[in-house]
Amino acid sequence: MTGQMPRLSKVNLFTLFSLWMELFPSAEQQKKSQVKCLRLPLTDLSEQMVKKSGLVVVKNMKIIGLHCSSTDLHAGQIALIKHGSGLQNCDLYFSRKPCSTCLKMIVNAGVNRISYWPADPEISLQTEASNPMTTDDAKLDAKAVERLKSNSRARVCVLLQPLVCYMAQFVEETSTKFDFIQKIAKSQTDSNTDFYTACRQERIKEYESLFLISNEETHKQILMTIGLENLCENPYFSNLRQNMKDLVLVLATVAASVPVFGCFGFYNSESQRTNEIDHQGLPQDIARHCMIQARLLAYRTEDHKTGVGAIIWAEEKSRSCDGTGAMYFVGCGYNAFPVGSEYADFPHMDDKQKDREIRKFRYIIHAEQNALAFRCREIKPDERSMIFVTKCPCDECVPLIKGAGIKQIYAGDVDAGKKKADISYMKFGELEGVSKFTWQLNPLCTNAPEFHDPTARENGVQKTKSLDDQQHQNKKVCLGHY
């Protein structure tokens, strides 16, 4: 694609984050399915099955919290515990319409607006026909939610926006060219990206089954039950379903760009020789999940050439009530021009422009800088904090990351050690005191014959082994991969 690059709207970014947070890995999820059933702590709904949900807390159009349901608590309840009165005037983006238990508390906290994904709600209406009592309870809760909505000051609504023109195509093109995918491709005998195409199709199929309702009549029935009967008539209904499908496609495409593939992951060779908690890497599934968050942020970039996203998380000493375990959100950002500036205020040219005065590099704020500047929590020296960046941090950002007290960096290293016309990446390799986990082959299994055999790819077109067999084999070879 040429010309000005398309961007995700903030509303769609928050919506995608809520869906992605529903899939946040947890110890319980590794044993069970990703959409886990919980029990409501209410007598009349004690047997009601509740779907896990993700939640994004936004204040002044900036993310201040990322949460998901835990074994004991719903996402809305967790937000109340974590933010308290800080929820006042916030916007909440749910991956499912919240139940009455959550809604009454967050409305009471004075939130400004509650947006939700218009599919199966938190208390599922897609239940087995063999259990009509469960369906009745779900309908009763849906009615209670509507009454709470009608009598509260908070706006409870669906905020879905159509993707800008060519957005889906742009995401697919840039994901295929993403450093992580290209690094895997170069390790293959034929250097192609067929494995990415296969992985993307798997993610599309998986996420469509999770977040979409395939049967149109079932979808209409659910919409009418949760108070969205106005969306059941065409063209509104068909437009809604298309917008939902487009967003799920974007999510699957981005998720596939940080794939589960053979022995690739985020590794630091020095971490194999130390037991210090600050130098121990995260489980690979969590590291990938957080990097995909950063990838989503990159599609808000104001840089025409290179979109970069960064997100900071930290880890408490013990597990909290959140579905994210001991981890909590600190801040996030993407590369952009100074806040309040207009499109023509600053140059947008890169190093191909001979006149250095009209190049962008002295004006653009880097993703890491924005994540640090607009963080909602302080970085505590006694906790493990980590930043996930979609590109190698440059020499301008490395000292900031270290000075802020961040303990770990997760990034690609394609540009490490390079010096370009207006930007250099020399300090990343020399950085001490901060653990660096880069996208690479696990040092413990670089000689694994089944990885180098193109017929044994985990997501490849030419594989002869089943996916389960290959994953099992990788686990045996890649000790410590998960």
Annotated catalytic residue: which of 22, 122, 368, 458? 368
Residues 428-458 as b/e (b if ≥16 CB within 10 A, e otherwise) read beebeebbbbbbbbbebbeebebbeebebbb
Nearest to 291 by CA among 372, 388, 179: 388
SS3 54: strand
Q: How many other CB atoms sit within 10 Å of the CB of residue 260?
A: 19
Active site residue 368: yes
Burial 310-344, CB ≥16 within 10 A → b, else e: bbbbbbeeeeeebbbbebbbbbbbbbbbeeeeeee
| Nearest residue to 266 via CA among 281, 251, 277 | 281
Beta strand segments in 299-347, E: 309-315, 327-334
- Comparing CA positions, the residue from 83, 21, 12 lying closest to residue 56 is 21
For residue 415, count other CB atoms closer than 10 A to its CB.
Answer: 18
Report which of 135, 346, 120 is spatially closest to residue 220, judged by C-alpha positions.
Answer: 120
Q: What are phi and psi of 50, to 5 degrees?
A: -120, 135
**Which residues are catalytic, by number?**
368
